Structure 1
Amino acid sequence: MGKGARRKGPGKGPKTGKRKVRDVFVARPFEGLAAEPELIALREFVPSATAPLPLKDAGDRTVTLASVLPVAAAAMVRGETGEILLGMQVQTRSSDVSRDLGRALRWALDAEPGQVLSVPDTTSEPQPGERLQDLLDPDAELEVELHSDFGWWLQDDAQATGEVAMSLERANAAIMPTERVRQGAYWTLTGEKAHLRWVWPADENKLLQALARLSAAGELSLGEGSRYAGSFRAHGLLVPVWDLDAEAHAREWSEPAEQLGARLDAALKSLDDEPLNAAERRARDGLIGRQLTLR
């Protein structure tokens, strides 16, 4: 044995243990789904809403997507009916939100009535067929139903008790009036201010250029009583935000939003043939300065 060499002692074999799962961040987890804008809205800023989940194959089970469940649970199965509720706003997440939701749904399909999944599985090795893209009809949109409180957590006039009762009280106290204006676009009243948050399923850079084109032309507002406030990124998409006259009802912004949507669609198409001019590039630089990122 050469100088400096050491003899291995008894039991000193190679290290063993649980293999670390490589967690690769997915920037746009709902890409490829027609429901992408609504999924992001329910995940990030819609307070109380439900929607039937358009699964490829759920058999005779009723599966409902929910903005948030009691105690921010990942999933639950109603004891009375066996209905599955899948929560969007949860306590923890991995680097792939779509996989988290797929795993929670798989758990619920095998669970017994009355069971609750507090947090999704975020540590197991990724497996084929686990993501929402594998489980949902990719062309189906969500039929979102908004609620003024969280009373839908309970069924058949049941009374909340314990932790659920406390969670229900806190959730109802924090809820803000919210209305759906169109796909991915939600009006919210926050005290003395109102806002429109609009999830657009378009490439971020292209959408930013289209917004800049409208801004340079003075066509970026929703009309009198509105002001473009900026945008934030959420799950790979850009979400423009407008400040609105709080005295106006949500339905009063439906037609202006439709008109703005048509202008924005036209601006997006025009980018293929006409790049931004100097004024539009300056407008784009100004819009970039008003961006945030949500993950």
Structure 2
Amino acid sequence: MAKRSRSKSRQPPRERAEGEAGPRQPCPCGSGRRYKHCHGAPEGAAPVFVSRPFEGLPSECDVVALRELVPAATAPLPLGGDHADRDVTLVTLLPGAAPAMVRENGAIWLALQVQHHFGDPGRDLGAVLTRALAQEEPGVVGLTDDPGEGPRLQDLVSADELAVTVHEGFDFWVADVPDAPDLMGVLEQANASVNATEKLTSVQAAYWTDVGTKEHLRWVMPEPEERLLDALARLHVAGDDVLVPDSRFVGMFRAHGLLTPVWDLPLGTGAEALEEPADRFAAALADALADESDLTTEQRAARNGLAHRQVTIR
């Protein structure tokens, strides 16, 4: 009796068209995932991660700061088109971590510090705002599923700059509500978590904060990472990155495609004492960014050190 062949019949591999990505190659969409796990997956395209989701939004650096660093702040959000007459306010956080809220007077509050995990916060916030604009009754507006195609927040906003107001706490939640006993417990708990924070007026997107044991300056900057690292290395070697006596440039956060340099400050410094030094540093940084000469050996070493003092938070 003949032995049954143990070899399985195999289909010859399908020939790929010229230029078509292989299953293990990076997906051409730019997501950073392998093609077989992204647009080559049987179920179709996976959610695409957008590395700089707030690019093109007015005051992009402030938006990143409000989303990741500032506890309690608001900014009016002017809209264009058919919604130009709507009263919309961007807030850092809402009661119960609600994504958005349509208030009794029809005004909309849109919360920044809500993580939807669908790959593009700009699109997710645009979807939440679109739903809030269509909701006729007061109440919370949420987003539980990937919203798919639709306008991003950048597409809805009509402004050159956002006017950010930093608050000492979340009392603005109830500032125009005569009696809100059901919110008092939540408000008290939220206020207890707030570190004192102030926005500098002499430069863009720089925020002083007191965390109790230390004070910090956290400054979100829009320049491309490689150019910014070169410039900061030049300033560090020259000793021009010291803002006030006993302050220290300690590293950077990376969030939503932007770098946020961080300084440790002596206790008691306060925000006001940083205004003139920050303005002076901004001028020195502009000069360093314009310098296109090759880095010296010492500057390259400083740059490598700075590159290792980065923490990616989003």
Question: Under TM normalisation by the shorter chain, which class is it?
Answer: 0.7 to 0.9
Kept in 1, the 8 Å contact 2:78–2:84? The answer is: no
TM-score using structure 2 length: 0.82
Q: Does 1:67 align with 2:88?
A: no
Deviations 1:101-147 (A, max 9, x none): 111110111112422024x35413223xx11221123x611100111
Q: How far apart, in 1, do the equivalents of 2:100 and 2:248 lie?
A: 38
Q: What is the identity, as a one-letter code, of the residue corresponding to 1:282? A: A
Candidates 163, 174, 183, aligned match of 1:143: 163
1:173 aligns with 2:192: yes
Partner of 2:176, secondary structure, is coil
Partner residue in 1 for 2:21? none
Question: Could you say what secondary structure the match of 1:232 adopts?
Answer: strand
**2:102 corresponding residue in structure 1:** 77
- Shift in Å, 1:217: 0.9
Q: Deviations over 1:160-185 (max 9, x none)?
A: 344x4443222111001100013211
**Residue by residue, what CA displacement relative to the aligned partner does 1:43-97 show, whole Å, maximum 9, x if unpaired?**
0011111001132232321110001111111110111x11110000115332101
Pairwise CA RMSD of aligned residues?
2.1
Distance 2:215 2:63 in 1: 22
Alpha-carbon spacing, 1:122–1:44, altered in 2? closer, same or farther (3 Å): farther
CA–CA distance in structure 2, aligned partners of residues 225 and 146 of structure 1: 27
Match of 1:211 among 212, 232, 239: 232
> Out of 57, 67, 82, which is 1:33 matched to?
57
CA shift for structure 1 position 286: 0.9
Shift in CA distance, 90/206, structure 1 to aligned 2, threshold 3 Å: same
CA contact under 8 A between 2:208 and 2:270: conserved in structure 1? Answer: no
* 1:42 maps onto 2:66 in alignment: yes
Q: Is residue 282 of structure 2 the alignment partner of residue 258 of structure 1?
A: no
Q: CA deviation at 1:155?
A: 4.3
Question: Once the two structures are aligned, what percentage of the paired residues are identical?
Answer: 48
Distance (whole Å) between structure 1 residues aligned to residue 144 and residue 222 of structure 2: 28
Matching residue within 228, 232, 255 for 2:249: 228
- Structure of higher RCO (CA pairs closer than 8 Å, 6+ residues apart): 1
Give the secondary structure class of the aligned counterpart of 1:82: coil
The separation in 2 between residues aligned to 1:89 and 1:260, in whole angstroms, is 30
Aligned residues: 273
- CA 150–267 in structure 1, closer or farther in 2 if over 3 Å, else same: same
SS of the residue 2:84 aligns to: coil
Secondary structure (helix, strand or coil) at the match of 2:280 reads helix
Within the alignment, does 1:200 sit opposite 2:221 as a pair? yes
Amino acid of the structure 2 residue aligned with 1:123: D
Which residue does the alignment assign to 1:268? 289
Match of 2:25 in 1: none
User: Of residues 129, 149, 153 in structure 1, which corresponds to 2:173?
Assistant: 153
Residue 24 (structure 1) aligned to one of 23, 43, 48:
48
Secondary structure of the structure 2 residue equivalent to 1:27: coil
Amino acid in structure 2 at the alignment position of 1:126: E
Aligned partners of 1:196 and 1:173: how far apart in 2? 21
The answer to which of 151-160 and 170-179 deviates more is: 151-160
Contact 1:93-1:122 within 8 A present in 2 as well = no
The one of 78, 99, 123 equivalent to 2:146 is 123
The 1:91–1:31 alpha-carbon spacing in structure 2 relative to 1, beyond 3 Å, is closer
Quote the offset at 1:220 in angstroms. 1.0
Shift of 1:33: 2.8
SS in 2 for 1:241: strand
C-alpha deviation, 1:264, in angstroms: 0.8
Separation in 2, partners of 1:293, 1:101 = 21
Secondary structure in structure 2 of the residue aligned to 1:214: helix
The 1:90/1:160 distance shift into structure 2, 3 A limit, reads farther
Is 32-41 or 229-238 further displaced after alignment? 32-41
Is 1:107 matched with 2:131?
Answer: yes
In structure 2, what residue type is equivalent to 1:253?
L
Identify unmatched segments of 5+ residues in structure 2. Answer: 1-7, 9-42
Give CA deviations for 1:187-239 in whole Å, capped at 9, x if unaligned.
00000210000000110111111100101111111131311011010000010
Between the aligned partners of 1:160 and 1:194, the Cα distance in structure 2 is 34
The answer on whether the counterparts of 1:21 and 1:123 sit within 8 Å (CA) in structure 2 is no
**What is the deviation of 1:280?**
0.7
Q: Distance in 2 between matches of 1:168 and 1:185?
A: 27
